[in-house]
């Protein structure tokens, strides 16, 4: 395996006192070293270990080789050339030569073990462990772009539930910080190794993207530790990635959620409207979610950044960790959560409070269904949650969370005007009053509305309208003569109140 002048210098500094030129190549092009005492061997890709001060090489050779002076001081002209190192006088060329040979042997051994690991079809975790033993002791993680942790070493990420970064309050802050960081987003297009500078939540990282179909699907990265997060170990990480990519292509990374039985049950319910609910009930009962329990559905709409960064899976995992007795699945680009309210150790108010901050801070929107009993309403509860979100957003666009009870009347009114316009559904004579009011010639339309809203209370109505009681009675008589309504008839009153709402809705639309 070839090494770079920059990497060689890093190891030399760990053992010896050295000075080196500023221009050290990070390109891995160097073979095993050789001891030289004259410059007759002008070969590329060689590490020249020399102990004579007048040794020199042409610059075009030096750019593709390395020159190490041991025990002597070279001329100033050569010290400033690329890829030159000078070691202290009390070291012999033979000692340095053997040390460098051992370094090449170390990397060759590492490479052989990586090859053997792939031939034996061992898991990706084994590749990281081999690298830790030989080369890089820093914490290391392989992560999908949806923040799924495939493998990790030296971090707590691998211990997270479902192996998704962002499944608790601490790590979801990290996910939010990353997906909102423009540096992290732009890094998805980078080829080769690169350094992510980090932010207030995320540490700096040395990363390499792994692509599928020309699009980044995974990222291997190391975080601060013994080795530097710069070009020194960039090619080393790239070399490891070549084996990791092969392992990914042969499906040695296990998707832990693909066979999750409860997830699969709810996925089938949402994707198949004709699902056999008797069978569904039996399956859920076998998992402890009984027909005697009460359930609620929450639809969490993914934001633009979540769609870009594919963080829906981490959203689902976070909610499952935050809310006991919950099951969150991905459906049509959003997260759908079913909560067993009976088994959940939180009250419904506590559930709302626990999710409210998360939904707000993550710039998400959510619709809540009603809580219903049994196994036969899951599809309808999903529809309720969807309506809560779509109608609630129109009704109160500044709110993050929408409950079905808050939008139920608006939804009913919208449904009534789907086939016929409001003016064809409203109380016929009421339209006459409305037209008079719209022309500015009559207060009767508004007077009737206030009177009905005050439950036919004359005193309260006259106060709200700022008119005398006798004036109100005069107006009510004119209204009665115009529409002939029976205030003692509950259906008549309901029809009039609905007519006002329907006409309002048509005006606002």
3-state secondary structure of 482: helix
Picking from 217, 249, 281, the residue at the C-terminal end of a domain is 249
Within a domain: 341:
yes
Q: Which of 412, 411, 381 is nearest to 394 (CA)?
A: 411
The verdict on 242 and 162 lying in the same domain is: yes
Q: Give the per-residue pLDDT at 164.
A: 61
Within a domain: 34:
yes
Q: Give the per-residue pLDDT at 168.
A: 67
SS (H, E, C) 220-252: EEECCCCCCCCHHHHHHHHHHHHHHHHHHHCCC
Q: Give 405-454 pLDDT, tens digit per residue.
A: 999 999 998 888 888 888 888 888 888 888 888 877 789 999 999 999 99
Picking from 223, 249, 275, the residue at the C-terminal end of a domain is 249
The verdict on 266 and 410 lying in the same domain is: yes
Within a domain: 323:
yes
Q: Give 111-158 pLDDT, tens digit per residue.
A: 999 999 988 888 899 999 999 998 999 999 998 887 878 888 988 665
* Positions in the chain whose pLDDT score sits under 70: 39-41, 156-170, 251-260, 304-310, 508-509
Dihedral, CA of residue 484, residue 490, residue 495 and residue 498, to nearest 10: 130
- CATH number, domain at 448? 1.10.10.2840
The verdict on 319 and 355 lying in the same domain is: yes
Q: Residue 205 in contact with residue 195, Cβ under 8 Å?
A: yes
**Structural domain boundaries, residue 451:** 422-508
The verdict on 378 and 344 lying in the same domain is: yes
Dihedral, CA of residue 325, residue 329, residue 332 and residue 335, to nearest 10: 50
Q: Give the per-residue pLDDT at 306.
A: 62
- CATH number, domain at 176? 3.30.450.40
DSSP string, 151-199: EEESSSGGGSGGGBTTSSHHHHHHHHHHHT-HHHHHGGG--SEEEE---
Picking from 219, 249, 279, the residue at the C-terminal end of a domain is 249
The verdict on 394 and 489 lying in the same domain is: no
Q: Give the per-residue pLDDT at 103.
A: 96
The verdict on 465 and 400 lying in the same domain is: no
The verdict on 177 and 292 lying in the same domain is: no
Domains of the chain: total? 4
DSSP string, 13-32: HHHS-EEE-S----S--B-S
Within a domain: 405:
yes
Q: Which of 11, 209, 242, 210 is nearest to 111 (CA)?
A: 242
Within a domain: 490:
yes
Sign of the C-alpha dihedral, residues 260, 266, 269, 270?
A: negative
Backbone angles phi, psi at 474, to 5 degrees: -65, -45
Sign of the C-alpha dihedral, residues 270, 271, 274, 277?
A: negative
Within a domain: 432:
yes
The verdict on 367 and 272 lying in the same domain is: yes
The verdict on 342 and 453 lying in the same domain is: no
* 91: DSSP letter: S
Helix (H) or strand (E) holding 96: helix 93-119
Within a domain: 229:
yes
How many angstroms separate the CA atoms of 177 and 362, rounded? 10
The verdict on 409 and 278 lying in the same domain is: yes
Tell me how far apart the terminal alpha carbons of the chain are, to the nearest angstrom: 70
The verdict on 221 and 155 lying in the same domain is: yes
The verdict on 274 and 373 lying in the same domain is: yes
Q: Give the per-residue pLDDT at 258.
A: 37
Within a domain: 62:
yes
- CATH number, domain at 403? 3.30.70
């Amino acid at each position: 395996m070839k090494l770079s002048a920059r990497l060689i210098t890093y190891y030399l500094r760990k053992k010896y006192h050295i000075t080196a030129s500023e221009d050290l190549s990070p390109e891995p092009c160097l073979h095993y070293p050789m001891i030289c005492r004259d410059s007759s061997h002008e070969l590329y890709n060689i590490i020249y270990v020399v102990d004579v001060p007048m040794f020199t090489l042409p610059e075009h050779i030096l750019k593709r080789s390395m020159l190490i002076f041991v025990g002597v001081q070279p001329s100033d002209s050569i010290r400033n050339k690329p890829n030159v190192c000078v070691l202290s006088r009390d070291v012999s060329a033979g000692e340095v030569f053997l040390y460098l040979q051992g370094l090449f042997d170390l990397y060759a051994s590492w490479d052989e073990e990586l090859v053997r690991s792939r031939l034996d079809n061992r898991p990706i975790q084994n590749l990281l462990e081999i690298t830790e033993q030989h080369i890089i002791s820093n914490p290391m993680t392989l992560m999908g772009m949806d923040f799924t942790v495939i493998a990790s070493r030296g971090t707590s990420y691998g211990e997270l539930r479902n192996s998704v970064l962002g499944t608790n309050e601490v790590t979801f802050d990290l996910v939010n910080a990353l997906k909102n960081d423009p540096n992290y987003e732009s890094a998805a297009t980078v080829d080769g190794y690169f350094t992510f500078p980090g932010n207030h939540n995320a540490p700096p990282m040395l990363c390499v993207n792994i692509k599928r179909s020309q699009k980044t699907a995974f990222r291997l990265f190391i975080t601060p530790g013994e080795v530097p997060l710069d070009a020194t170990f960039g090619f080393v990480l790239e070399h490891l990635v070549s084996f990791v990519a092969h392992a990914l292509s042969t499906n040695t990374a296990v998707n832990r959620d693909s066979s999750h039985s409860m997830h699969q049950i709810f996925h089938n319910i949402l994707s198949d409207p004709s699902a056999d609910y008797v069978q569904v009930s039996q399956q859920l009962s076998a998992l402890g979610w009984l027909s005697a329990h009460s359930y609620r559905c929450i639809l969490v709409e993914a934001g633009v950044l979540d769609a870009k960064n594919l963080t829906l899976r981490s959203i689902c995992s976070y909610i499952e960790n935050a809310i006991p007795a919950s099951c969150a699945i991905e459906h049509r680009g959003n997260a759908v959560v079913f909560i067993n309210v009976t088994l959940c150790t939180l009250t419904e108010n506590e559930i709302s409070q626990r999710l409210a901050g998360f939904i707000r801070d993550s710039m998400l929107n959510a619709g809540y269904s009603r809580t219903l009993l049994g196994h036969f309403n899951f599809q309808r509860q999903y529809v309720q949650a969807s309506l809560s979100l779509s109608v609630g957003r129109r009704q109160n666009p500044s709110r993050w969370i929408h409950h079905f009870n808050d939008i139920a009347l608006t939804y009913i009114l919208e449904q009534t005007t789907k086939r016929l316009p409001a003016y064809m559904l409203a109380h016929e004579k009421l339209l006459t009053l409305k037209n008079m009011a719209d022309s500015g010639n009559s207060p009767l339309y508004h007077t009737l509305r206030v009177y009905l809203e005050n439950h036919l209370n004359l005193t309260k109505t006259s106060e709200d309208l700022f008119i005398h009681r006798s004036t109100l009675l005069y107006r009510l008589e004119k209204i009665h003569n115009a529409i002939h309504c029976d205030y003692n008839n509950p259906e008549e009153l309901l029809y009039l109140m609905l007519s006002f709402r329907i006409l309002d809705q048509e005006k606002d639309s």
